[in-house]
């Protein structure tokens, strides 16, 4: 079984009812697909991993349950082990050393998409099209801003990918801009 986007979306919406967590999955999916295209990898597989990486979070919001429960659900449903491992790799507390480019990428984009979303939402326009890497870097220095976001995961993610942090941030912003309407970051909330 090689799950497709439709199956991944069904799984996500079966376990996740909150709009913000669904939008987070969409943002991570967009970044994963963009990086898969850049690296000449399987966009569908990478997108599926991005879309479902937090599917169990709403029901299991603590580090001792989130991901562990999701991995078990995926195994019970017969999802492929490479997808399961990709999902598990995004949580540093799982102590999984990302073994391939897809796993390194999910680690690199997960926290960053959330942070970019937060930056876009504090702008008067509430539009990700108005977000630049420099404004994200500036907000990263403000420890009170989006304090739940692990800045170390963002910087380490870029290092693991072997890319400049500014280039990485800009790349992920552009991926998110491509689906700004779906993310509610197109200025319509301003």
pLDDT higher than 90, residue 63:
no
Can you give the pTM of this predicted structure?
0.95
pLDDT band at 174 (very low <50, low <70, confident <90, very high): very high
Secondary-structure class of domain 5-183 per CATH: mainly alpha
Query: Among the ranges 23-32, 93-102, 143-152, which has the highest mean pLDDT value?
Result: 23-32
pLDDT higher than 80, residue 81:
yes
d(CA 176, CA 116): 9
**For the chain, what percentages of helix, strand and coil (3-state, to nearest 5) are there?**
65, 0, 35
Average pLDDT for 57-77: 91
Neighbours of 29 (CB within 10 A): 28
pLDDT band at 93 (very low <50, low <70, confident <90, very high): low
**Which tokens sit at 155?**
């910087």
């Amino acid at each position: 079984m090689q799950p497709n986007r439709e199956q991944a979306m069904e799984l996500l919406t079966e376990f996740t009812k909150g709009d913000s967590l669904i939008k987070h999955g969409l943002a991570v999916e967009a970044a994963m697909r963009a990086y898969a295209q850049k690296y000449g990898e399987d966009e569908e597989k990478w997108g599926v991993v991005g879309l479902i990486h937090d599917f169990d979070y709403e029901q299991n919001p603590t580090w001792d349950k989130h991901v562990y429960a999701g991995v078990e659900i995926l195994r019970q449903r017969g999802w492929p082990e490479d997808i399961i491992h990709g999902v598990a790799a995004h949580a540093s507390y799982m102590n999984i050393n990302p073994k391939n480019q897809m796993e390194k990428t999910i680690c690199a984009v997960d926290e960053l998409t959330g942070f970019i979303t937060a930056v876009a939402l504090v702008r008067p326009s509430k539009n990700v099209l108005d977000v630049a890497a420099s404004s994200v870097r500036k907000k990263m220095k403000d420890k009170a801003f989006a304090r739940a976001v692990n800045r170390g995961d963002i910087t380490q993610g870029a290092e693991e990918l072997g890319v400049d942090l500014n280039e990485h941030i800009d790349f992920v912003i552009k991926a998110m801009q491509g689906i700004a309407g779906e993310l509610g970051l197109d200025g319509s909330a301003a």
